[in-house]
Amino acid sequence: MSNTTSTLLIAGAGASGMLAAISARRAARELSVVDERLRIVLLERNPKPGNKIAISGGGHCNLTHDADVKSLLEKGFLKKSEQRFLRHAIHTFSNADLLVLFGRYGLKTEVRADGRVFPVSGRAGEVLDLLRRMVEESTVTLVTGARVERVECGSSGFILHAGERRFEADAVILATGGASWGSAGTTGDGNRLAASVGHSIAPVLPALAPNYFTVPPKPELVGVTLRNILLVASADGASDSRRGDVLISHRGISGPACLSLSRSVAGFLASGKKVTISADLFPGHDEGKLSAFILEEAARHGTRQVRTFLQRCPLAPERLDAPSDSSAAETIPNAFADEIMRQAGINREVTMSSLTKAQRLGLVSALKRLTLGAVRKVPLDRAEVSAGGVSLGEIDPKTMQSKIHPKLYCCGELLDYAGEVGGFNLQAAFSTGWVAGSHAARMLFENC
């Protein structure tokens, strides 16, 4: 083995960049390469590494998801092309591998009922601290306040420019994250850098974001949650939907179903479509069944006002044969009763027995397609992740190596994928970073 020395530069000290540094050192040590022969330099534009880890999961850090790899991919990444791309990386460095590695540094984790995994301490800072320790033990030079602005690619290596500073490297890993939540340091720099060396960039779209409406929700609805409903985005003939909780906010909607649907909504808006959001309060029951249910209720409680019926009406029930005054787990929130009546064209005094057929059908229609608002914006600066980025077809999924420049690697959210809420995004960043780092070190030293 020769005694050549190589430099690996990693741009971005987030989840993927730190794991890339750690795995590169580990791979080099496995090849018996002494630390002096592989200089690993981690360039970070912020004063500190790991800003996004610190704010993840509301400061609690939902670091991964508890499932076998196949289910993790299916649950976490709704696009088959993204599942295919990530499969190898997540198998190579799985959620179990992550917990074993972090466990060695003393991290104790707990699995919530929905599969999300958090540190027992509930502190994202604990995860960040242990990553910093691991980076330190990996003999990595961390340079903060270094925003990479330009990459020069030559036949023998790279030069990265950060302000007045120049960093030369034999191999480069771009781990600069996505383009959302820019206040954390992620403003899509990696897309510009990758594009400048010939990579195609899929258009950036916000994902896991709230929706802002053209007309803000009525004050009495703000703060109300519609549980387990079907949220539907309709856009000039196209549509998409998600089942889950939706929170009415001052500007529009938020909550899990909204976050999950936001990538589609943003896509519709980007293609010039007008998007209307509605809620199906009885998913799983067609209009005929709902109409029959209302008739039965009218026969049972004819003198009851429609408004009272709505206030006692089950929300998104499994079965429709339960009487409306049963103690259903969830009922339509009181605040929504007037809105449903307004959209159904029924005034407050109408009783169940006096409902005309047209009014009943209007009520059914409002319950199945309750308009929540027209979307004005899906804000990128409030999106937990961004979709789009470096085209997956130009990156080898087994190594994260660029198919354009063999000594260039891309990993993490910079790549054109976006996961659901639940720990999937951090896991994908950790896994792709791990694969990029270990392959880069092997590529530099395996044949020496």
Task: Note the residues at the interface with ligand FAD (CB under 6 A).
Answer: 11-17, 43-46, 51-52, 55-57, 61-62, 147-148, 175-177, 181, 185-186, 189, 384-385, 412-414, 423-426, 429
The least CB distance from residue 442 to ligand FAD, in Å, is: 21
* Residue closer to ligand FAD, measured from CB, 370 or 436: 436
The least CB distance from residue 146 to ligand FAD, in Å, is: 6
* Residue closer to ligand FAD, measured from CB, 196 or 271: 196
Say how far apart CA 190 and CA 170 lie, in whole Å.
Answer: 19
The least CB distance from residue 36 to ligand FAD, in Å, is: 25
* Residue closer to ligand FAD, measured from CB, 172 or 230: 172
Q: How far is CA 71 from CA 75, 78, 86, 99, 260, in A?
A: 6, 11, 13, 17, 17
The least CB distance from residue 122 to ligand FAD, in Å, is: 12
Residue with tokens 């496995």: 30
* Residue closer to ligand FAD, measured from CB, 10 or 261: 10
Instruction: At 173, list the tokens.
Output: 């890993």
Say how far apart CA 265 and CA 211 lie, in whole Å.
Answer: 8
The DSSP output letter for 305 is B
Instruction: At 190, list the tokens.
Output: 């990696």
* Residue closer to ligand FAD, measured from CB, 172 or 372: 172
- In our burial notation (b when 16+ CB lie closer than 10 A, e otherwise), range 295-324 reads eebbeebeebbbbbbbbbbbbbbeeeeeeb
When CB distances to ligand FAD are compared, the closest residue is 14
Instruction: At 237, list the tokens.
Output: 């003939």
* Residue closer to ligand FAD, measured from CB, 72 or 253: 72
The DSSP output letter for 148 is -
- In our burial notation (b when 16+ CB lie closer than 10 A, e otherwise), range 76-107 reads bbeeeebbebbbbbbebbbbebbbebbeeeeb
* Cα-Cα-Cα-Cα dihedral sign, residues 264, 266, 270, 274: positive
* Residue closer to ligand FAD, measured from CB, 205 or 310: 205
Spatial neighbors of 438 by CB under 8 A, at least 6 apart, are: 23, 24, 26, 27
* Residue closer to ligand FAD, measured from CB, 47 or 219: 47
Could you tell me how far CA 93 lies from the centroid of its own chain?
20
* Residue closer to ligand FAD, measured from CB, 56 or 228: 56
What secondary structure, in 3-state letters, does 354-396 show? HCCHHHHHHHHHHHHCEEEEEEEECCHHHCCEEEEEECHHHEE
Spatial neighbors of 4 by CB under 8 A, at least 6 apart, are: 37, 448
The least CB distance from residue 118 to ligand FAD, in Å, is: 8
Could you tell me how far CA 218 lies from the centroid of its own chain?
28
The least CB distance from residue 124 to ligand FAD, in Å, is: 8
